[in-house]
Amino acid sequence: MDTSRDRTEQTAPHPVLRQVLIDLSIMVVLGVLLALMGPFGSFEMPLPVRLLYWVGLALVGYACYRPIGELVTRLGLRLDLPEWPLWIVACLLASVPVTLAVFFAGQLPGPFALPSFDRFARSYPYVLLVGSGVTVLFHQIEHRKAVPVNETPPPQSRPERQAEPVGAPGPRFLDRLPAHLGSDLLALEMEDHYVRAHTVLGSELILLRMRDAVGELEGIDGAQVHRSWWVARDAVEDVKRDGRNLRLVLPGGLEAPVSRARVVELKEAGWF
């Protein structure tokens, strides 16, 4: 019994908390860099004041952009909407409270007053530019790459998986599954920065990003049918159609949405 691995998994920080701590560290570094550069006329401030000013604004910006970014990600995955238009709207919205924070920071220690529309309109584009740049940076770091569809012909029925030859290494991801779930993997479902592994015996959260999990599935015939779903090919029992929307029906009533961008590839590969 591998107790060391169990202890590691139990003491590992929650993936969302870990990601937030990493993000905050990056924002502090960016705030320090901006303080050293002194953009937008802030170089005239003493260095300690600039540090407090820019690090504080960086953290306020993160507090505004992060929740809206999470909402955009969830909305895009749930409704299968294109990401970039949603992110543009998110940046436009998040830049409003950050612009107000810039004015209030400049009025410290008070009294505070709302800026006129003209002053707000002059400052808003600069906030939008910086906020959008940081957002693009974070998005590129966390972007999950899709995996090409396997184009082998579909099975007529769901067969038993053949045993691997003795000594042959299996897919690395299966080693992450707890023993009570077995190794008959049906699908992976993305939940924030980790995945839920579905098998014929149940499901379990795995502390791993979807991109990395899919990279460990070599040897299993399947495809990432949606940004938030990977499905084993021989797990598909039926296909549900609702207008232009498709869902793959898996054992136990589990349903995986199919991205419209993947429909043609999957159809050509014989999935339905």
Residue 199: per-residue pLDDT:
92
**CA–CA dist 210, 115 (Å, integer):** 44
Residue 148: per-residue pLDDT:
39
pLDDT tens track of the chain, all 272 residues? 444 444 444 444 455 677 778 888 888 998 899 889 888 777 888 888 889 988 998 899 888 888 887 787 777 766 667 767 888 888 898 899 899 988 888 777 767 788 888 888 988 998 898 888 888 777 676 654 333 344 343 444 444 444 444 445 678 889 888 888 888 999 999 887 678 999 998 888 888 888 889 989 988 899 999 988 999 999 999 999 887 788 899 998 889 999 888 888 888 888 88
**CA–CA dist 225, 210 (Å, integer):** 12
Choose among 243, 246, 219: nearest CA to 233. 219
Domain range 172-268, CATH class: mainly beta
Tokens 């709207």 belong to residue: 89
For CATH 2.40.50.1020, the residue range(s) in the chain are 172-268
In degrees, to the nearest 5, what angle opens at C-alpha 44 toward C-alphas 38 and 49?
75
| 258-271: b (≥16 Cβ within 10 Å) or e | bbeebbebbeebeb
